[in-house]
Amino acid sequence: MLTFFANTLVLAGAVILIGALATVKRLINQLPQGSSRKSWYTMTALIIMFVIGYVFYIAAFWSKHTNALDLIVPVIFFFGACFVWISATLSMNTASDIMRISLLEHESCTDSLTGLFNRRFMDQRLLEEVAAAHRYDRPLAVLLLDLDHFKRINDKYGHPTGDQVLIAASALIATQLRSSDVLARYGGEEFIVIAPNTPLDSAKELAERLRKCIESNNFGVYPGQATMPDVRLTVSIGVACFSDWIDSAEQLLKVADRNLYQAKDNGRNQIVDDERVIPAN
C-alpha cells in the first residue's frame, strides 16, 4: 500500500510538471525577445530534467517503500511539482495582467485613428513641460496645425478616404520631428506639437518645414489601394513660445490657437508666430 501511494505521488508530480511546461510555453510566447524569455527557456530545461528525474526515481524505487519514512521523498517530489506549477501559473497570470494594463494605458492616451497621442495625454504632458521650462529656465514651443479645407476631402472622396489622409498626414508630420518632440491629435484635423528646448526662431523653422512638407505631398496614393487623382493639402500653423508673458500651459494654447486662426483668416497655408499676443483672462 505504501509503495502504491509513493509511486502515485511521484507520478502525479510528473504529470503536474508536464502541465507546468505547457503553461511556461504559453508564457514564453507572450514575452518579447530578451533576458526574461531566455530565463524561462532555462526554466523549461530544468522542468524537463525534473520530469526525467521523477521517472528514474519511480524506476529505481518501484517497490522499495516499506515504511512511512520512505514517503518523505515522494511527498517532497509531489509538493515541489505543485510549487513549480503554481509559480508558472502565477507568472502567466501576472504577465497577462501586465499586458492588459499596458494595453489599457496605451488606449487611454492614444488616438484610435492616427495612433498619435490624444488630447488627454497632451494636456498632461504640456503641464509637465511648462513646469520643466520654469524650473530649468529653458525654451518651450507649441505649434498648432490645422489642415486647410479638410472638409472638402471628406465631401469629395468620402470619410474613409478622409481618415486615410489624416493617418498619412500625421505620419508625415512625425517624420519631421525630433525624438524629444511630442505630437498629438488635438481634434478633428488639428494637430499639436510640443517642442521642448525650442526657442522662437527654431519653432518658426520647424513650422515652415512642416508647412512645406504637407504642401508638397500627394495624399492620393495609398499602398494596396487604387491611386486617386492628386489629393493636395495645405496647413495653417499657429506658434507660441514660452516667455515672461506666456508662462502657463493655458496661455501657450490660447496664443497658439489665436495665431492659428489668424493664419487661417490671412488666407491659410501660412504661419503666424506673434508671441506678444497676450491671451485674454
Put the strands of the sheet holding 190-196 in their side by side order.
182-187, 190-196, 140-147, 235-241, 271-272
CA-based R_g, the chain, Å: 31
Q: From the candidates 105, 107, 129, 189, which is the catalytic residue?
A: 189
Is-catalytic flag, 208?
no
Return the active site residues.
189
